Chain A
Amino acid sequence: MEKSFVKKILIFLGILFLAIMLVLPLVSVLFHAFENGIKVFIKSISNEEALKALQLTLIAAGAAVIANTVFGIFASFLITKFSFRFKKIFSLLIDVPLAVSPVVAGLMLIFAFGKRGWLGPVLDYLGTKIIFDIPGILIATIFVTFPLVFREIAPLMQTQGTEEEEAAAMMGANWFCIFRKITFPNIKWALFYGSALCASRALGEFGAVSVISGHLREKTNTMTLYVEILFNEFELASAFAVSSILVMISLMILILRTIAEYKAKKWEDK
């Protein structure tokens, strides 16, 4: 009896919080996006500038997810299963991108790869450009989402301990086998969470990218930068329409993930 009362209160609190803090702002974005009718909506998202921006955003988010998932797996394996000197410094360094405000992160990249940055002469010599070009956008996106996957899976690997891996290694299993059979099943869902978190964050990143993109139209403009331009042109309806696309993409990824997860869990329970 008491338990169901507590349950109701908690559910009420949780939903109320989500409704006020999350659902209402998102609904208002969708509402403004369709305010002037579906035609305006389609027109504002189907022009070439918007499509190019969408393409770039998807590339950047994809790169961030792949890079950070691979990194997250290896880094958390390293940090939680082995002991070595400088381990604490390592795990601190991984967190740094989280502690740097995005605008400053962009500035740091400029001072590293820019024309006057300390790697500038090297890049000049190689004849390649990073900042104000697509590689810069990829790096900035990877930077701001860097620790997300690691942060999700490391605690689980930590709780799991190393006994099972050690036993398997004793029996002569190689790294990949150990990882696949023992470590991975344990962190599978957390990895899912982490990647989705990373994808969403990459889709919506603005600060760092805005500093190093150069805003070149149809070339280095991501969706969020395009939204900013639309907003600055006072085309609010289009700005909301374009952002609602980002929200929808993200929502799709997240709902697919949630469904896959529930299905798989049911299947596991059987």
Chain B
Amino acid sequence: MKESGFVRQKIFLKFKKSIFAIVLFFCAFFYAGCPQIKFYGKNENSISITNVSYDATREFYNQYNEMFSEYWEEKYGQKIKIIQSHGGSGMQSMSVLEGNEADVVSLAVESDIERLSKAGLANKNWKTNFPNDSSPYTSTIVFLVRKGNPKRIKDWSDIIKNGIEIITPNPKSSGGARWNFLAAWAFAQEKYNGDEEKSIAFLKNLYSNVKVLNSGARSALTTFVGQGQGDVLIAWENEAFFILKERPEEFEMVIPSISIIARPCVAEVTAYSQKHGTRKAAKEYLEYLYSDEAQRIMAKNYFRPSNAEILKEYEYVFNLDIKLVEASKFGNWDEINKKFFADGAIFDNFYN
């Protein structure tokens, strides 16, 4: 008995310094971690909300946030600061799910918001909270080709021919690229009257022409524009416009006969906005997206405004004759993901 006490004491002596060091380390760590700036929520005369968004909307939200804070200050006499966050749509949705406390989200694919609502962070009926299925603007998928269109690309059926090199991102790694796939699918379905087998064969041909399968839309753009690879880029309309503005002598836009109507959407993340006490601001922030001024900013950034009248004002910019197919025609997003993009699904089989 006595001996074991002795051993214990010896062990304690041996570890005295260890224990001290461990305690010291954790103290140091928590000291570093504790003084956290109170960034969210409101105080007397200023308020801040966080908008977690996807790539490609940074320029638009820069302009919009400025406009909205002026509007808010005029209306309530209170300053508002909007903290922006941009990244790949899927990863952004994941970060909100794991505790990135956004008051509002504006993401590229409906399923990215649906996931938040399933986890109880956003309302169940978020889609009907704002007009037009909560998508303030739409966009579509077009082709970008080199000047003079040397390969004479007019429509989807031209790009599956032998010898055409396509650049398009991987629909598995980029949520945005799923629209590219669906646009081609819409064409194939129309062409073959809904014949599943033939449509799959069509897309398989298309993807066998793909030279570089980038991980995201912007890197595909860099491959096509910056590195000069490939004959045709399957791109978002707003990005194609953007490139044409920057380099009008080098590229041309080709509008295919059929394309998809892409609907990025917005939602309030009620769980967090409630916590921050910013529900009113979050709601108005999203509502104001539908105002005429905001819709015009969208059009200037080459997104198609959801307000039909404003869209008409910009008909000299957008091709309004293109036949646009809704993605919902092919099922809801869960079904679409499962059918086309899940591991071992249609897309994976193209390469088997």
Contacts and interface: CB of A to CB of B under 8 A. Distances in A.
A251 B242 CA distance: 35
B112 interface: no
Contacts of B222: 231, 234, 236
A215 interface: yes
Contact of A211 (B32, B91, B101, B243): B91
A32 to B, nearest CB: 10
Contact of A129 (B36, B84, B97, B246): B36
B87 A114 contact: no
A232 interface: yes
Interface in B283-336: none
Given A116-B98, A216-B50, A232-B218, A128 B33 contact: yes
Nearest to A175: B17
Contacts, number: 85
Given A210-B87, A232-B216, A115 B98 contact: yes
Interface string A215-254: 1111100000000110111101000000000000000000
A135 B32 contact: yes
Interface string A118-144: 001000000011111111001000000
B214 to A, nearest CB: 12
Interface residues of A, number: 32
B140 to A, nearest CB: 19
29 contacts: A114-B98, A115-B98, A116-B99, A128-B33, A128-B34, A132-B95, A132-B98, A132-B99, A132-B101, A134-B36, A135-B33, A212-B95, A214-B52, A214-B95, A215-B52, A215-B87, A215-B95, A217-B83, A217-B86, A219-B39, A219-B83, A229-B58, A232-B56, A232-B86, A232-B216, A233-B55, A233-B58, A234-B221, A236-B222
Nearest 10 Cβ contacts at the A-B interface: A115-B99, A214-B100, A114-B98, A215-B85, A132-B100, A135-B33, A232-B55, A232-B218, A217-B84, A215-B87
